[in-house]
Amino acid sequence: MNAKPVRYWLKVMNRPELLRPGDTVAIIATSGPCDSELLAAGVKAVKDMGLMPWVMESCYLRHGFLAGADDIRLRDLHMAFAAPYVRGIFVARGGYGAQRLLKDLDYDLIRCNPKVFVGYSDVTALHVVFNQICGLVTFHGPMVASDFGRGLDPFTMDAFKRMIFADRDIRLKPPSKKGDFSLVNPPGRPLTIIVSGYAKGPLVGGNLCLLAASIGTPYEINTHGCILFLEETGEDPYRIDRMLLQLKYAGKLSNAAGIILGDFGPQTLEDLHISINELIIPEGKPTLANLACGHTSPTLTLPLGQCIQLQLRG
């Protein structure tokens, strides 16, 4: 029986067992259809990491702007979580369509079978419910066709492996008992402190337009006491301002313990200065910007749902 969506943050997060060479990972298209050549190249890259890819039917289908009808994408997702030999689930690409699956997800099944789950962009809709409703830690990171298929730069590949593999020396440290977490940008891309201060809480968020679209639904993001991560791509400053304003009016900025701004390409911090100065800074939340994460290369892989600390000294 499916669990009903809930609006509170689950206090106990279930971090999945990390991957080891030889593990089977399911590759699934939860949103838009895949380019066959990029998919094939991405699957080869997964094999080259020492993993055994199980490419699911949704990766080969096209239903208009979707990778197969909703029931097929939903079935693939449930099969991937239910299969005992599958240790991880890598999303092939974003696009649009993940939100259409939320009301029919078997949340009990997913909660009881924590696995490494990786994706970003439209996959934000799934990250939010897996974090909030199922209590799972998930990973905001590169996707099989969109990123692996085009070839990952060394920084991105290293950051990805160090986050999801159990037998790697972790540079992007998962929290210790004290909740420490290190954010290390690529060389030449300095982090920017917008508001100094200290904050601690679960790292949540993802793509700004998906988070704004969740407001007013049973699946809206809960930012209370959390570190809110935001990224976006290809949007004009006024559209970014409108989405930030929607989060602000819904109390998502004021409820957050801290804020991290990722990549907003092609917009820079200077392009977004009105929104930052008039919408974000007045909230007084410790805020870090220019994190290399989102629709960008190089990019970090982040553990959503994991408790982290921000210690920002201007």
Segment 264-277, tens digit of pLDDT: 999 999 999 999 99
Kindly compute the dihedral angle of the four CA atoms of residues 39, 95, 259, 252, in this order, to the nearest 10 degrees: -150
**What pLDDT is stored for residue 14 in this prediction?**
80
CB 232 within 8 A of CB 124: no
Cα–Cα distance, 244 to 280 (Å, whole number): 8
| 3-state class (DSSP) for residue 278 | helix
Domain residue spans in the chain?
A: 24-164, 192-312
**What pLDDT is stored for residue 184 in this prediction?**
84
**What pLDDT is stored for residue 305 in this prediction?**
95
Query: Do the domains 192-312 and 24-164 match in fold?
Result: no
Written as six digits, the tokens of 226 are 């959390």
Question: In degrees rounded to 5, what are phi and psi of residue 203?
Answer: -80, 120
CB 165 within 8 A of CB 264: no
Q: What averages of pLDDT result for each successive group of 10 residues across the chain (314 residues)?
A: 41 80 98 98 98 98 98 98 98 98 98 97 98 96 98 96 76 41 82 96 97 97 97 98 98 98 97 98 97 97 94 84
Amino acid identity at 313: R
**What pLDDT is stored for residue 129 in this prediction?**
98
Write down the residue that tokens 């407001």 correspond to: 215
Residues with catalytic roles: 121, 231, 295
What CATH superfamily classification does 192-312 receive? LD-carboxypeptidase A C-terminal domain-like (3.50.30.60)
Q: What is residue 190's DSSP assignment?
A: -
Mark out the alpha helices in 250-283 (DSSP H runs): 252-255, 273-275
Q: Which of 278, 295, 284, 288 lies closest to 313 in space, CA to CA?
A: 288
Q: Partners of 300 in the beta sheet?
A: none
**What pLDDT is stored for residue 109 in this prediction?**
98
What CATH superfamily classification does 24-164 receive? Murein tetrapeptidase LD-carboxypeptidase, N-terminal domain (3.40.50.10740)
**What pLDDT is stored for residue 96 in this prediction?**
97
CB 306 within 8 A of CB 202: yes
**What pLDDT is stored for residue 9 in this prediction?**
43
